[in-house]
Each structure stands twice: as C-alpha cells, then as structure tokens.
Amino acid sequence: GLSGTIPSELQYLVDLEVLLLDDNKLNGIIPSELGTLSSLEELKLSQNELNGTIPSELGTLSSLERLDLSSNQLKGIIPSELGTLSSLEELKLSQNELNGTIPSELGTLSSLERLDLSSN
C-alpha cells in the first residue's frame, strides 16, 4: 500500500469530488489544507496510521456527503465545526483515540443517516 504523508498540495485539486486514500499505510496528520476542496463530496482516509487531531477546517467542506476517518490513531476532540456540514449523510470516526464530548452541533446535521463514533 501507499506510505508517507498526505501531501498538502492536494488542496490545488479544486474540482476534486472524491478522495479515497483508505486502507494504506499513510501516517502523519490530516492536512488542514484539505478544507479548501469545496467540491469534495466524499473523503475516505480510514484504515491508515494517521495521527494528530481532526482539522476543524474540514467543517468548511460544504459539499461533503461522506466523511470516513475511522481506524486511525487520531486524538483529541471531535471539532464542533463538523456540525456545519449540512450535506453530510455519513460520519465515521470509529476506532481512533478521540476523547471529550460529542459536540451538540452534530445535532444540526439534518441530512445525516449514519453516525459511527464507536471504539474510541
């Protein structure tokens, strides 16, 4: 599988709608620059070795329908900014090392059909 870090230069793929990097050996942090991909509908980074925190900038992905960051080594809190993703249908953050509370802002995700926060 792929290894190394996720390049912040992916921010220049302005028309990108789907980014699937799951089931690899990617490590390091999730670049906050991914928050500039305004056309992105699906972001799947699950089953890697990513660490650090979930960037609050992901809350600016207004077209995002599916976000899967499960099965990594992500730490810290779930950013309340994810509650602004009005198109989000699926949010999977399971099997990480997240802590803190579930942000009340997630309650405003009226399109959400699947929420998985298990095994943190």
pLDDT digits (tens, 9 = 90+) for 33-70: 999 999 999 999 999 999 999 999 999 999 999 999 99
CATH code of the domain covering residue 64? 3.80.10.10
What pLDDT shows up at residue 40?
98
What pLDDT shows up at residue 31?
98
54 inside domain: yes
What pLDDT shows up at residue 24?
98
Q: Read off the pTM.
A: 0.97
CA dist list (Å): 24 to 5, 13, 27: 11, 21, 9
For 84-115, write each residue's pLDDT tens digit.
999 999 999 999 999 999 999 999 999 999 99
What pLDDT shows up at residue 14?
95
91 inside domain: no
Domain count, the chain: 1
**What confidence tier does 76 reach under pLDDT thresholds 50, 70, 90?**
very high
Contact 89, 112 (CB under 8 A): yes
What pLDDT shows up at residue 83?
98
Provide the residue range defining the domain that includes 42.
Answer: 1-16+31-85+98-106
93 inside domain: no
56 inside domain: yes
Q: How far is CA 104 from the centre of its chain?
A: 18
117 inside domain: no
How far apart, in whole angstroms, are the C-alpha atoms of residue 74 and residue 98?
6
112 inside domain: no
36 inside domain: yes
